[in-house]
A = this chain, B = another copy of it.
Amino acid sequence: MKRVTRLKDLAEGLGVSITTVSKALNDHPDISAKRKKEILDYAKEVNYIPNQVARSFRQQRTKMIGIVISDNSNPFYARVIRGIEETLSVHGYHCVVMNSHEDVDKEIQFIGELRGLNVAGVILTPASGNKKSRELLKNYDIPYVLVNRYIERDEDTYVVLDDEQAAYMTARHLCSYGNDKIFFLNFLPGVSSAQNRLAGYKRALKECGFSYESNMVVSGCTNQTDGYESMKRILEKNKPPFCVMCYSDYIAIGAICAIQERGFHLPHDVALCGNDDIGILSFVKPRLTTIGAPKLRMGIASAELLIELLESRQEETEEEIKKEEKHIVMKPELIIRETS
């Protein structure tokens, strides 16, 4: 079987020019309906697949989007990524996913690599409030959307959860236990979501007439092990009953493990809440009280925002670069189950 991998092969097979074939495949009005059909049929018959590399090269823009995420092994991001991918694929885009593992230097390196790949845009979960990433993206003139976290509240285009509200709801809920000890196992302090959660936590305490004590907040928990270790340390110095709110379900699982190991019961001795509502835990006992986040919708929304940016850029002439930044803040939902 002769290999048909180029427009040239199609053109020769049909006895027309390369441009005619190109225009026909791109539904250009220059080509008559009859010819168009003829060419499309032939292309299909010989299973022609256009060379995206050549096309990207010629057009100076690819249909590739870079996704820099802090941790793809977290089912939370797996859902977000799925939303992104499915939305982008409808528009003919593909994704290169990179894992920064919360490392800003890696994040910066990845942005450089994505620049080299001439990606059309980037969706980024910034590893911290470090402005270098934004600077690079602007410098390289790559449209971007931040997801789940922002670098600065009033800059950029982003899709986040209302973290302040999420933490506020959780803390208010825990306050109802009438117990003034509410520990907070928080995430990395440089990250916007962690900062907003802390703010929501403080607001709830204040409203409920509890005093904020910084030694009740543990910063820097990222995974189950951190949750487990932090909880163990808390249990060494504090006797239940008390409450615990966790930045993520992952942290919560580790904390629960430590609590149960000590022989305490949820929610009787310790009332505990997670955050994210990752799917697998809905089947695990004790069923975790958590904050439901619209993970898939966050992914979809950020992809849609990015596509908007890309399309507006197509239309606009050099003069009028309308810099409309959009901030989408999604509503959290408190899901009360068995641990509180």
Of A19-27, A146-154, A171-179, A254-262, the segment with at least 4 beta carbons within 8 Å of chain B is A254-262
User: Which of B72, B85, B118, B284 interacts with A52 by CB under 8 Å?
Assistant: B118
Q: Which residues of B contact A208 (CB under 8 A)?
A: none
Q: Which of A49, A51, A53, A85 counts the most chain B CB atoms within 10 A?
A: A53
Contact of A81 among B72, B95, B227 (CB under 8 A): B72
List which A94-138 residues lie within 8 A (CB) of chain B: 94-99, 112-113, 115-118
With a cutoff of 8 Å between Cβ atoms, the chain B residues found around residue A327 in the complex are none
The chain B residue sitting closest to A228, CB to CB, is B283
- Knowing A50-B116, A95-B97, A250-B280 touch, does A72 contact B78 (C-beta < 8 A)? yes
| Residues from chain B with Cβ under 8 Å of A82 in the complex | 72-73, 99
Whether the Cβ atoms of B283 and A254 lie closer than 8 Å is yes
Question: CB-CB contacts of A273-304 with B at 8 A, as 1s and 0s?
Answer: 00000011011110000000000000000000
Which residue of chain B lies nearest to A260 when distances are taken between CB atoms in the complex? Answer: B285
**Within 8 Å of chain B (Cβ to Cβ): is A321?**
no
As a 0/1 sequence over residues 41 to 80 of chain A, the CB contacts with chain B under 8 angstroms (1 = contact) are: 0000000011111101100001010000000110100110
Residue-wise, chain A 238-258 has the 8 Å CB interface mask toward B (1 for contact) of 000000000000100110110
Are B49 and A57 in touch, CB under 8 angstroms? no
B residues less than 8 Å from A116 (CB atoms): 49-52
Question: Which chain B residues border A62 with CB–CB below 8 Å?
Answer: 53
B117 touches A284 (CB 8 A): no
With both beta carbons as reference points, the residue of chain B lying nearest to A278 in the complex is identified as B280
A56 to B118, CA, bound (A): 12
In the bound complex, how far is the Cα of B54 from the Cα of A116, in angstroms?
Answer: 10
**Selected contact of A53 from candidates B57, B81, B96, B113, CB within 8 Å:** B57
List residues of chain B with CB within 8 A of the CB of A75. 73, 75
- Give the contacting residue for A284; candidates B95, B279, B282, B284; CB below 8 A: B284
> Could you tell me if A257 and B283 are in contact, using CB atoms closer than 8 angstroms?
yes
- In the bound complex, residues from chain B placing their C-beta under 8 Å from that of A73 are 75, 78-79, 82, 279
Question: 8 smallest A-B Cβ distances: which pairs?
Answer: A73-B78, A257-B283, A57-B57, A49-B116, A224-B283, A53-B118, A253-B283, A52-B116
Apart from A94-B117, A96-B96, A253-B284, what are 12 other A-B pairs with CB-CB below 8 Å? Answer: A52-B117, A53-B117, A53-B118, A64-B96, A73-B79, A73-B82, A78-B78, A94-B96, A224-B282, A227-B283, A228-B283, A253-B283
Residues of chain A at the chain B interface (Cβ within 8 Å): 49-54, 56-57, 62, 64, 72-73, 75, 78-79, 81-82, 85, 94-99, 112-113, 115-118, 224, 227-228, 250, 253-254, 256-257, 260, 279-280, 282-285
